[in-house]
Structures are given as C-alpha cells and as structure tokens.
Amino acid sequence: MDNKTISAVVSSTLERAALVVEDLSEPVYRRYFAADPDAAALMAHMDDLTRGRMLNEVLRLLMEWDPVSDSAYLNFEVRNHQYAYRVESRMYRELLVALRDVVAQLLGDAFEPDRVAWESRIAGLLAEIEARAG
C-alpha cells in the first residue's frame, strides 16, 4: 500500500470516528495514561488545550505523513522532547497505539478493513522516530 493510499484510508477512518465522538482527546489520553503512567506523570502539568494541540499534530502526521516534508519537523520534535522533557521513544508508540485502539473501539468491526493501513502508518512513523531518538 503506497503512502497516498494509507493517508486516504487513515483520514477516512478518522472522519468516521469523528461521527461517533467529536473530540478524541479525552478517550485517547485516558487510554494512553492508563497504559503508560510515566507519560501521564510527564504530561501532568499540561492543560487540555496543549494536549489537544499535541493530539492534532499526531492526527496530522497520521493523515498526511510525508517522509520528505515532515523530516525536519520530526528531527526537531523528537530531539526536543527527548532532551527537554525526557520523553522516551516507547512513549510515542504507546500514544499511537492508544489512538488506534480508541478509533478501533469506536468503529468496531468497521475498523478492520482499515487496520493494515493504520499498522503500516504507525510502523512507518515509529521507524522514523526511532531513527531520530537514537
């Protein structure tokens, strides 16, 4: 599956999820913090607006990921979060998995045809993050 197709599938899935719940922030962060208490502790000082902005950027990457145009952005963000906030690379995985699982739960069986695209996009993003977190 090529990058453009993955982007289209992930975007469509998120549009359908938005019909079920208007704001994904609360269920995603609830699941994320339950799975990763260290991340919850790191983000305890953040308000809902900041968390929402962060999740919006994650959603953008999932829907529009372009390894060329997003390279500099990821270079900065991954290194900044690693050194300034002590974010561990596993925390990105936990966040992406929490988001995927919330969307899958919201859509039920209707998510299954899109799972391969989601797994591919998440794997691609995580590989890029790992390469920068080194």
Each domain of the chain, given as residue ranges in start order, spans 3-133
Sequence-ordered alpha helix ranges (H) in 21-114: 25-35, 37-42, 48-64, 71-85, 89-107
Mean pLDDT across the chain: 95
pTM greater than 0.85: yes
Q: What is the pLDDT of residues 102-128, one digit of tens each?
A: 999 999 999 999 999 999 999 999 999
Instruction: Check the CA dihedral 125-55-32-36 and report its sign.
Output: positive
Record: fold of 3-133: Globin-like (1.10.490)
Say what the pLDDT of residue 90 is.
92
Q: What is the pLDDT of residues 55-69, one digit of tens each?
A: 999 999 999 988 888
Q: What is the mean pLDDT of residues 8-32?
A: 97
